[in-house]
């Protein structure tokens, strides 16, 4: 992974969706870790909200981290269905995380791959209402050519080495994530 070519796309962690999501707490902890790590590395982040009038805003624990990041308000399941997608600071490598894995994450991943992006799916920061739907989506995205990894693997792949200030900043975020999941 080349940090200067990598961005994060955060998909639909919304108020009315999250209570029904399998493993929501763990998913949100992994998503927060990704967002904070991308911020520590100075890499671009954008996020989406599916039909926010009906599904609500991004949950506060994620939304508060995204203040100032570009937001897509969408009706299409794929983020690429938004007319403003092309103006986002995205790519050519895109890390995706979000809900639901088998709907918006899946369709966004397909469209990104179809448009020539390299896609890395943060598996632990994605979920669906049913575990089997999430698992089927992950298998499919991998078969399509997306790289599917845990959030820590993605961040360490962007860091490349230990002993730097950026590494130390991310290490603190890893410890925070571990404390929250303990």
Q: Could you give all domains of the chain from N- to C-terminal order, each with its CATH number? A: 3-181 (3.40.50.850)
Q: Tell me, yes or no, if 74 is annotated catalytic.
A: yes
Question: Which of these is catalytic: 12, 36, 124, 177?
Answer: 12
Q: Tell me, yes or no, if 79 is annotated catalytic.
A: no
* The predicted structure's pLDDT at residue 153: 96
Per-residue pLDDT reduced to its tens digit, 43-70: 999 999 999 999 999 999 999 999 999 9
Name every residue whose Cβ is closer than 8 Å to that of residue 105 and which is 6 or more positions away in sequence.
11, 96, 97, 98, 99, 121, 126, 137, 141
- DSSP 8-state secondary structure symbol assigned to residue 59: P
CA nearest to 170, candidates 157, 151, 180, 156 = 156
Question: Which of these is catalytic: 69, 74, 111, 124?
Answer: 74
Question: Which of these is catalytic: 104, 111, 124, 177?
Answer: 104
* The predicted structure's pLDDT at residue 105: 97
Question: pTM higher than 0.75 for the full model?
Answer: yes
Per-residue pLDDT reduced to its tens digit, 21-43: 999 999 999 999 999 999 999 99
Per-residue pLDDT reduced to its tens digit, 83-114: 778 778 787 999 999 999 999 999 999 999 99
Q: Tell me, yes or no, if 104 is annotated catalytic.
A: yes
Per-residue pLDDT reduced to its tens digit, 108-150: 999 999 999 999 999 999 999 999 999 999 999 999 999 999 9
């Amino acid at each position: 992974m080349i940090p200067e070519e990598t961005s994060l796309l955060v998909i639909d962690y919304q108020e009315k969706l999250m209570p029904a999501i399998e493993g929501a707490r763990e998913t949100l902890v992994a998503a927060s870790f990704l967002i904070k790590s991308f911020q520590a590395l100075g890499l671009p982040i954008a996020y989406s909200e599916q039909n926010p009038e009906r599904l609500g805003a991004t949950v506060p624990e994620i939304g508060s981290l995204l203040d100032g990041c570009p937001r897509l308000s969408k009706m299409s399941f794929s983020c690429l269905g938004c007319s403003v997608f092309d103006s986002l600071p995205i790519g050519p490598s895109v890390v995706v995380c979000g809900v639901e894995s088998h709907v918006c994450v899946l369709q966004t991943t397909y469209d990104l791959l179809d448009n020539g992006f390299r896609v890395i799916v943060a598996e632990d920061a994605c979920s669906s209402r049913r575990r089997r739907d999430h698992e089927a989506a992950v298998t499919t995205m991998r078969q399509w050519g997306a790289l599917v990894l845990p959030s820590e693997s993605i961040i360490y792949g962007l860091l490349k080495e230990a002993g730097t200030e950026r590494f130390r900043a991310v290490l603190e975020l890893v410890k925070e994530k571990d404390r929250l999941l303990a």
